[in-house]
């Protein structure tokens, strides 16, 4: 988890795309459940994530206001599946207001990097769809929390250490569970006043493939092209990660 998180944040930071992606998440959440975070659990989760990447409060409020405007277009979530070079399976999550443009762009990236865009269902089965929560770790008994959450399908709970803005060490707790458990876990944490720092979804490959340095570079070319596209929210693959 630590390496995946660091890698993802490095990519997002380099592309300055975290705010753009969260802005789209806000639009989709507001269109689905309205602009009030108290009655819209999906919007609450997105606002927590916005705060976790230091998105200014004004930006969040503006995004909610824009999303509430009837003239604001909606984004559709579309999943693309395919293969990079060397047999590496790729899953691309997009949020788009123009599916024709997104399909053309994603196909062109695969073609330019000697990959192939597949059909729906061709690689998605190779990934476990999970949800995760990062919560404040102070005064939390991990064993007790795990016993409480086990009925919700929680698969993994562990401590994670970060540094705050002042360089002080801060302990948080990571919770991993199947995708469909998200709502129940979110409700439990909120009802028990456990502060959620961020939450999200991830697709974790069931099996990974080790490549040599040259092959990794081939695959990285495609990953970078995909992640630079404004319509792309997340990219997952079966290439073995190494520090």
Any alpha helices (H) in 85-181, and if so which ranges?
99-112, 142-149
pTM of the model: 0.85
Q: What is the pLDDT of residue 3?
A: 54
DSSP β-bridge partners for residue 172: 136, 160
The two three-digit tokens of residue 12, written as one number: 């997002």
What is the residue extent of each domain of the chain?
1-68, 76-126+207-237, 127-204
CATH fold group of domain 76-126+207-237? Alpha-Beta Plaits (3.30.70)
Q: Are 209 and 89 in contact (CB under 8 A)?
A: no
In a structure prediction context, what are the per-residue pLDDT tens digits for the chain, which is 243 residues long? Answer: 555 665 555 555 544 578 888 889 999 999 989 999 999 999 999 999 888 888 889 989 998 998 888 777 789 999 999 999 999 999 999 999 999 999 999 999 999 999 999 999 999 999 999 999 999 988 888 999 999 999 998 999 998 887 766 777 888 999 999 999 999 999 999 999 999 999 999 999 999 999 999 999 999 999 999 988 989 999 999 999 765
What is the rounded CA–CA span in Å between residue 33 and residue 28? 9
- Find the radius of gyration of the CA atoms of the chain: 19
Q: Does domain 127-204 have CATH number 3.30.70.980?
A: yes
Could you tell me which of 68, 86, 117 has the C-alpha nearest to residue 210? 86
Place of tokens 């770790």: 137
What is the rounded CA–CA span in Å between residue 97 and residue 14? 24
- Identical fold at 1-68 and 76-126+207-237? no
The two three-digit tokens of residue 150, written as one number: 């086990």
Could you tell me which of 133, 130, 132 has the C-alpha nearest to residue 179? 130
CATH fold group of domain 1-68? Arc Repressor Mutant, subunit A (1.10.10)
The two three-digit tokens of residue 49, written as one number: 């994530």
Q: Are 88 and 237 in contact (CB under 8 A)?
A: yes
Place of tokens 């490959």: 205
Where are the strands (E) in 26-74, listed by range? none
Q: What is the pLDDT of residue 14?
A: 46
């Amino acid at each position: 988890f630590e390496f995946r998180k660091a890698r993802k944040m490095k990519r997002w930071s380099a592309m300055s795309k975290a705010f753009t992606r969260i802005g789209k998440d806000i639009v989709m959440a507001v269109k689905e459940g309205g602009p009030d975070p108290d009655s819209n659990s999906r919007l609450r989760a997105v606002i927590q994530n916005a705060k976790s990447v230091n998105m200014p409060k004004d930006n969040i409020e503006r995004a909610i206001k824009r999303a509430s405007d009837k003239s604001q277009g909606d984004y559709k979530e579309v999943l693309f599946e395919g293969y990079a070079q060397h047999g590496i399976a790729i899953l691309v999550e997009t949020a788009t207001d123009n599916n024709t443009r997104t399909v053309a762009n994603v196909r062109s990236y695969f073609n330019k990097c000697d990959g192939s865009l597949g059909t729906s269902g061709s690689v998605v089965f190779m990934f476990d769809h999970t949800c995760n929560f990062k919560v404040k770790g102070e005064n939390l008994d991990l064993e007790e929390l795990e016993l409480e959450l086990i009925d919700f399908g929680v698969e993994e709970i562990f401590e994670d250490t970060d540094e705050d803005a002042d360089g002080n060490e801060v302990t948080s707790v990571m919770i991993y569970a199947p995708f469909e458990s998200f709502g129940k876990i979110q409700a439990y944490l909120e009802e028990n006043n456990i502060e959620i720092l961020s939450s999200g979804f991830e697709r974790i490959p069931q099996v990974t493939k080790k490549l040599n340095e040259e092959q990794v570079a081939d695959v990285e070319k495609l990953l970078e092209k995909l992640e630079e596209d404004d319509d792309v929210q997340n990219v997952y693959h079966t290439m073995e990660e190494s520090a």
